[in-house]
Structure 1
Amino acid sequence: MGEFMALGRIDWAVAVVAPKPSDQLLEIGCGHGVAVTNVCERLVDGGIVAIDRSATMVAAAMRRNAVHLAAGRAIVQVADLRSLDLDHRRFDKVFAIRVGVFRRGDPTREFAALVRLLKPEGRLFLFHDEPSTGADEVGARIEAAVLRHRWNVEARSTHVFDGGEVACVIARPPSYSAARLIRRAKVAVAL
């Protein structure tokens, strides 16, 4: 029963992220690699990098996604977001499912790392559920953390399952507003 609910939550999260065939994605805290599998099934020439701090979880994700790793659609590695170095690689979408640092504690270094990892018009998707509180409260806490770090909240939603609720906050990096204004100015000058 627990695995069915976990799969339902992950399926919903991947549907919200809505990977396009050419998207470059980063998953923070990939666990067993279920989301990696779901994302790779939607990719054509895109790719996903999935990280987790646990070597045990990375090994499980690599076993589950051996075909996608061999095809070059997925990279799974032991890594901490704060110190992640991908040689200037940037992502269209970054997502995290049930990664506690974004809901509690001080995610300042994580948000700083995300600014350099996301493309200026990229999106961050933070999903979390908390059995002891409702998804609205969890979503509000995640949204507050995003806003404290000067990110632009695009949407906040919740999804109800038989056994609980999950919250999602979608945000854009602080540089998104500046990049959009610069692009508009260039278009206006060209006209």
Structure 2
Amino acid sequence: MKGQGFRVVCEQEGGVWVRFRTLTCRCGAEGRIKDTGKRLLASSPVADAFRRLGWTSVKPDRGVCPVCSAPKPKPAPAPKEIVMAVEPPRQPTTADRRRIRDALLDHYDEDGGFYRGEQSDRTLGETLNVPFAWVSSMRDAMGLGADKSEASQAYTAEVMAMKEELRRLQDEFLAAFAKRCDDLERRISAAERRGYRSAA
């Protein structure tokens, strides 16, 4: 039933009838306030009582419950992207180029097409304290040979000589083995042709 605008509900509590004023939220939640006076409370004190309980937009026929009235948590802001400035790779200065060129002229055997001793683009770069890529680039620009050293050339030549000796020994061994096999096969054939003869 309606009374002063707010819905009135009567229920028994401990054998005594108690009057409640109710309010319903759009989510279905119901709020109740006891109205124990002899006469129904006016709408204004009932509305104030619901507001003290956390209800908002209170009107006799509707209201917003405390759960729906609670402020919604704001979504955390998306993290800002930090744009890192990419520095261009360091380039050789004129002085760097001159030092690299002079070192190449000192350490590279242009006729042989290799570094003297055990030098390489990397070791020359370490000595000059510059990236070895700069040394490689300058070597190519000067029209010099590959990044190989005299020591590596000697090592390669030594290894190739040993491989050649091994191949020759294998050929000699196989030839001697084949000759020995042929000789044994001839002797076996001759013995088989003679056949077994017992002593008389």
- Using structure 2 for the length normalisation, give the TM-score: 0.22
Higher relative contact order (CA 8 A, sep 6+): 1
Whose Rg is larger? 2
Pick the structure with more strand per residue: 1
TM-score (norm 1): 0.23
